[in-house]
């Protein structure tokens, strides 16, 4: 099968005005197999009494974010919908943007899912996950 006179699987060269238009809309990809996916950057630290997570979510507000703990997994997801309109004397351009993300983290055994605190400020989500009180039990076993 051919498209634009080229066999499928072969590189298709578009006129420069199309390349210039698409380059402004889409980020550069290293190769054709690379998908365009947004995964927020996350820093995780293990403190004495809690685990701290910082998630970079620029452009999002706390109302756009959903956090839950299910079956020892902490999930963070969010969506943002925008519309933008530009008007000129001869034309109107409208863009609708929908972005979504989803991250899941397996909680360590000593994390307490009842002690999760989340705060959002300036596009940075900070989570503090408390640790369970260690109730270390020991038992002496005598040899018979």
40-49 mean pLDDT: 91
pLDDT of residue 1: 44
pLDDT of residue 76: 92
Whole-number mean pLDDT of the chain? 77
Say how far apart CA 101 and CA 121 lie, in whole Å.
18
pLDDT of residue 30: 54
pLDDT of residue 44: 93
* Positive/negative CA dihedral, 11, 16, 17, 22: positive
pLDDT of residue 37: 52
- Output 82 or 46, whichever has higher pLDDT: 46
pLDDT of residue 6: 46
46-69 mean pLDDT: 91
Percent of the chain past pLDDT 90, that is, above it, reads: 31
| Class of the CATH-defined domain 34-131 | mainly beta
Q: Which residues of 108-134 are buried (b: 16+ CB within 10 A; e: fewer)?
A: eeebebeebeeebeeeebebebbbeee
- Output 98 or 43, whichever has higher pLDDT: 43
Tell me phi and psi for residue 44, to 5 degrees. -130, 135
pLDDT digits (tens, 9 = 90+) for 1-14: 444 444 545 555 55
85 and 94 Cβ atoms separated by less than 8 Å: yes
Percent of the chain past pLDDT 70, that is, above it, reads: 72
pLDDT digits (tens, 9 = 90+) for 20-39: 444 444 445 555 544 445 67
């Amino acid at each position: 099968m051919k498209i634009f006179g080229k066999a499928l699987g072969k590189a298709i060269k578009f006129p420069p005005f199309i390349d210039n238009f698409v380059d402004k809309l889409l980020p550069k990809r290293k190769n054709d197999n690379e998908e365009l996916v947004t995964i927020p950057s996350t820093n995780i630290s293990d403190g004495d009494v809690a685990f701290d997570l910082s998630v970079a979510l620029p452009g999002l507000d706390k109302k756009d974010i959903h956090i839950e703990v299910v079956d020892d997994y902490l999930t963070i997801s969010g969506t943002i919908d925008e519309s933008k309109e530009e008007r000129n004397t001869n034309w109107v351009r409208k863009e609708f943007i929908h972005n979504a993300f989803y991250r899941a983290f397996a909680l360590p055994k000593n994390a307490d899912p009842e002690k999760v605190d989340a705060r959002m400020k300036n596009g940075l989500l900070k989570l503090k996950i408390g640790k369970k009180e260690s109730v270390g039990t020991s038992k002496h076993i005598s040899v018979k």
